[in-house]
């Protein structure tokens, strides 16, 4: 299963606005993922944002708001199988493992995951018939990377000797690379398994 890049980015944005207005930090992460994923992203990012926010504005109240966001995601998820047969251009598609990783990265933009974002991730995983253990491992890996990022940011401003600071930074970066390597292995091993059973 593969996702059209634009559909994936719309799903990410829906998850980002699951609690209302998109926060600036979350927007930065969304834009970074989009630019990394598609060099043409700059040409259609505003359209994605406008379409998602237009859908969100059709809601009446908090409960309906979540349903409207979920409905937008549901329509996009139903496009995945149709898209497989419409094009063979791999540059316009992303695999499910990368989709899940970026989905969780967006959902946990604030080092946490709100109830609405958590529910949307569960909804998406359920719709795609993804094993919960995969989501659990990926989520914990992202938390580990975020924790190390915070330690590195603190260390860079800490009052320590140059050599001690450099040594600790190197150790933290090595720990982070271990996490990245393990998640790369997980993604490679499950690239074929992460399909609808």
pLDDT tens, position by position, 48-82: 999 999 999 998 877 789 999 999 999 999 876 54
Same domain membership, residue 90 and residue 4: yes
Domain residue limits at 137: 131-197
User: Which tokens is 177 given?
Assistant: 């690379």
Which residue, 75, 100, 128, sits at the end of a domain? 128
CB atoms within 10 A of CB 63: 9
What does the pLDDT read at residue 7? 94
Q: Do 58 and 121 fall into the same domain?
A: yes
Which residue among 128, 146, 169 closes a domain?
128
If asked whether residues 93 and 148 sit together in one domain, one would say: no
Query: What confidence tier does 93 reach under pLDDT thresholds 50, 70, 90?
Result: confident
Mean pLDDT score across all residues of the chain:
83
Residues 55 and 116 in one domain: yes
d(CA 134, CA 79): 23
Terminal alpha carbon distance of the chain: 11
Of the pLDDT bands very low, low, confident and very high (cuts 50, 70, 90), residue 192 is low
Asked if the model's pLDDT at residue 87 lies above 80, the reply is: no
Q: Are residues 107 and 149 in the same domain?
A: no
Residue 4 and residue 49 in one domain = yes
Question: SS3 for 94?
Answer: strand
Do both 12 and 87 map to the same domain? Answer: yes
Q: Which pLDDT band, with edges at 50, 70 and 90, does 95 fall under?
A: confident
- Statement to judge: residues 89 and 149 lie in one domain: no
Confidence of residue 197 (pLDDT cuts 50, 70, 90): very low
Burial class of residue 178 in the structure, from the number of CB atoms within 10 Å of its CB (0-12 exposed, 13-18 middle, 19+ buried) = exposed
Selection from 46, 75, 70 nearest residue 56 by Cα? 70
User: Does residue 146 sit in the same domain as residue 110?
Assistant: no
Considering the domain architecture, whether residues 124 and 189 belong to the same structural domain is answered as no
Mean pLDDT, rounded, for 26-37:
92
How many angstroms separate the CA atoms of 24 and 72, rounded? 22
Task: Please report the pLDDT score of residue 189 as a whole number.
Answer: 67
Radius of gyration of the chain (CA): 18
Mean pLDDT score, 158-174: 80
Given 103, 128, 153, which residue is the final one in a domain? Answer: 128
Q: Residue 113, exposed/middle/buried by CB under 10 A (0-12, 13-18, 19+)?
A: buried
Q: Number of structural domains, the chain?
A: 2
Q: Are residues 81 and 113 in the same domain?
A: yes
Q: Let me know whether 118 and 172 are in one domain.
A: no
Cα separation of 29 and 75, whole Å? 24
Residue 193 has pLDDT above 90, yes or no: no
- Determine the average pLDDT of the residues in 4-33: 91
- The residue ranking higher by pLDDT, 71 or 22, is 71
Distance CA 146, CA 158 (A): 18
CA-nearest of 91, 117, 87 to 15 is: 117
pLDDT at 109 over 70: yes
**In this predicted structure, which of 80-84, 90-94, 174-178, 186-190 has the lowest mean pLDDT?**
80-84
């Amino acid at each position: 299963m593969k996702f059209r890049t634009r559909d994936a980015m719309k799903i990410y944005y829906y998850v980002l606005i699951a609690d209302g207005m998109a926060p600036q930090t979350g927007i930065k992460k969304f834009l970074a993922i989009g630019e990394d994923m598609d060099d043409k992203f700059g040409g259609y990012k505003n359209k994605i944002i406008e379409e998602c926010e237009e859908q969100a504005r059709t809601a009446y109240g908090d409960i309906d708001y979540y349903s409207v966001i979920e409905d937008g995601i549901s329509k996009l998820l139903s496009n995945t199988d149709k898209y497989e047969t419409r094009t063979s251009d791999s540059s316009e598609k992303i695999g499910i493992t990368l989709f899940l990783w970026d989905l969780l990265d967006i959902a946990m933009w604030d080092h946490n995951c709100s109830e609405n974002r958590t529910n949307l991730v569960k909804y998406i995983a359920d719709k795609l018939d993804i094993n919960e253990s995969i989501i659990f491992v990926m989520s914990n890996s992202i938390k580990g990377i975020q924790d190390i990022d915070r330690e590195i940011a603190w260390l860079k401003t800490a009052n320590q000797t140059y050599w001690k600071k450099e040594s600790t930074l190197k150790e933290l970066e090595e720990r982070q690379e271990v996490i990245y390597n393990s998640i790369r292995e997980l993604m490679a091993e499950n690239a074929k398994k992460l399909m609808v059973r």
